[in-house]
Structure 1
Amino acid sequence: MSLGSGERCLPLGSVGADRWRSVLGVATDLDDTLTHHGELTAAVLGALEEVRSLGLPCVVATGRSLGWGAVLARVLPVRAVVTENGGAYVLREDRGLRVAFMEPDDVRDEGMRRVGRCVEEIVDRLPALRVVHDPAARVTDVALDIGERTTVDPAVVREALAMVSDAGLHGITSSIHMHVSYRRADKVGGLRAALGALGLDASALDERWVYVGDSPNDAGAFGAMALSFGVAGVRRFGGRMPSWPAYVTVGDGPEGFAEVVAALRAGRSE
């Protein structure tokens, strides 16, 4: 489980070979974990291929939209993409893609009406915040740009999160976006649902799957999964992390992810 403090995260090298050999799959965040300034590097694509060559399934869990998830599931060597912080997921199957949601249509529709009203109030009161340009591709939340194309003062983000809470909704941040939803962010719940739909053992997620991430919307996975890894940049979130990863890499972003995969490969060969 998460050790609860950035200073207490253990180094990657402290994971023993027996733990690596027990791994059944790899789950990972996308932005600033697999990507560097929004781009997928050759090194990280090679690391994803390495996971597949080890015979292990890989699942991406991201705050990006369902529309993004459909593209990622087609072009990356992964079995599924959990999107919108657990609100929906896309499965890669032999004959194409399958999309699934965590709630029925009527719940999503009513929830998104409430979210829309709240977001209108936020951008009216706090003009530094702007809606990310993918609303048509989102089905369970709305994302506001706080670090992708612009940098927003953390005090403004805190005020916006307070407005979300006052409206009875849920807000969470990643390294680039603030998400507003009618549902609590739950990447772990989305991962469990996706694994079950793939016919994999979802009960093994906590102890026998690796998770790699970098920011507060990964905290649920950090807290739930014993083999949770933060890339080096996770430390910049200081007191904003509800749960910390058990381990931390030396490298940031894709370099950190590649470190985890290299250690996984080496540990399984011992």
Structure 2
Amino acid sequence: MRALNELPRTVAAGMHTVFSDIDDTLTTDGQLVPQAYVALDTLRRAGLRVILITGRPAGWCDHIARMWPVDAVIGENGAFYYWHDPVERKLQCRHLLDTVARQTNTERLAAVRDTILREVPGCAVASDQFCRLYDLAIDFCEDVPALADADVDRIVALMEAAGMTAKVSSIHVNGWFGQYDKLSMAHLLMRERYGLELSREREKCMFVGDSPNDAPMFAYLPHAAGVANVAAFAGRMLHFPSYVAPSRGGAGFAEVAQALLTARQR
């Protein structure tokens, strides 16, 4: 990873889309900080497309798409995307699975949940599980004392043994039935909403993140950036961002946003 100030000005000035994770990227110690929220708004006002990509649930994404200064939000690690239609003035959503398929998976998720809670003492079902549609989120440090890496690995192994895709965020292990992820839904959203092929726009799209479930985006976008706390996952990620901000969490996101805005102004 290179320092953020090594991002070439011409590259930064050419960005048209900013993708960003939420937890520990826009937030700091679990709180959305003012400078990160202002940065989202400032990026949009400057003409950049702003799309959040998170492991957080559908219930959160409904609120975010309606009320935050963003163009869209991809939720539950790529299961759907929400956006607020300015013409029809209502929330819209694109799901990967229909209602019947989601209901079928609910029973399967419950069985895996019970196994994990029995086999990994100290973990818990995430507090936001009640508003999830696709996945199972197991808390290993948000509202419970932090578990050891070996316990987190055990949660991942149990999910995978049940045929699930499992991804580790900075606070949860998320598991779901299917092969989608943050990157696959980013491709779909860009194609369906904007008529753009992400494969052709990689040099003009920035992603900002902090944890292992962001690795597909880090690997695919050549100018992805991490906030400083991405370094905490040095031994748990296959792919790191090309650049890293000086500060952690929301302050780091604001630094990335400022680098893009300054380059455009010049």
TM-score calculated relative to the size of structure 1? 0.92
Report the equivalent of 2:261: 265
Alpha carbons 2:18, 2:206 under 8 Å: kept: yes
Q: Identify unmatched segments of 5+ residues in structure 1.
A: 1-8
Does residue 248 of the first structure (1) align with residue 244 of the second (2)?
yes
Report the equivalent of 2:52: 60
Q: What is the CA distance between 1:36 and its match in structure 2?
A: 1.2
Q: Identify unmatched segments of 5+ residues in structure 2.
A: none
Report the equivalent of 1:194: 189
Alpha carbons 1:112, 1:181 under 8 Å: kept: no
Q: What is the CA distance between 1:184 and its match in structure 2?
A: 3.6
**Superposed CA offset, 1:84-120 (max 9, x none):** 0001111121112111112333433333332221111
**Superposed CA offset, 1:41-68 (max 9, x none):** 1111111111012111100000000110
Moved more, 214-223 or 238-247: 238-247
Aligned AA for 2:159? Answer: V
Alignment of 1:143-154 (within 5 A): 143-150=137-144, 151-154=146-149
Q: What is the CA distance between 1:264 and its match in structure 2?
A: 0.4
Report the equivalent of 1:50: 42
Report the equivalent of 1:107: 101
**Superposed CA offset, 1:199-225 (max 9, x none):** 242434422111000000100100011
In the alignment, the residues of structure 2 paired with residue 72 and residue 202 of structure 1 have an alpha-carbon distance, to the nearest angstrom, of 25
TM-score calculated relative to the size of structure 2? 0.93
Moved more, 193-202 or 232-241: 193-202
2:151 to 139, 156, 160: 156
Change (3 A) 1:143 1:75: same
Alpha carbons 1:115, 1:141 under 8 Å: kept: yes
**Superposed CA offset, 1:133-188 (max 9, x none):** 23331111011111111212221111121111111112111001111111245111
Aligned AA for 2:162? Answer: A
Aligned residues: 262
Aligned to 1:255, the other structure's residue is in SS state helix
Root mean square deviation, CA, Å:
1.5
Alignment of 1:109-188 (within 5 A): 109-150=103-144, 151-184=146-179, 186-188=181-183
Percent of matched pairs sharing the same residue: 32
In the alignment, the residues of structure 2 paired with residue 66 and residue 172 of structure 1 have an alpha-carbon distance, to the nearest angstrom, of 17
Report the equivalent of 1:5: none
Aligned to 1:121, the other structure's residue is in SS state helix
Report the equivalent of 1:4: none
In the alignment, the residues of structure 1 paired with residue 70 and residue 180 of structure 2 have an alpha-carbon distance, to the nearest angstrom, of 22
Alpha carbons 1:205, 1:225 under 8 Å: kept: no
Aligned to 2:224, the other structure's residue is in SS state strand
Aligned AA for 2:223? Answer: L
Aligned AA for 2:45? Answer: S
Aligned to 1:241, the other structure's residue is in SS state coil
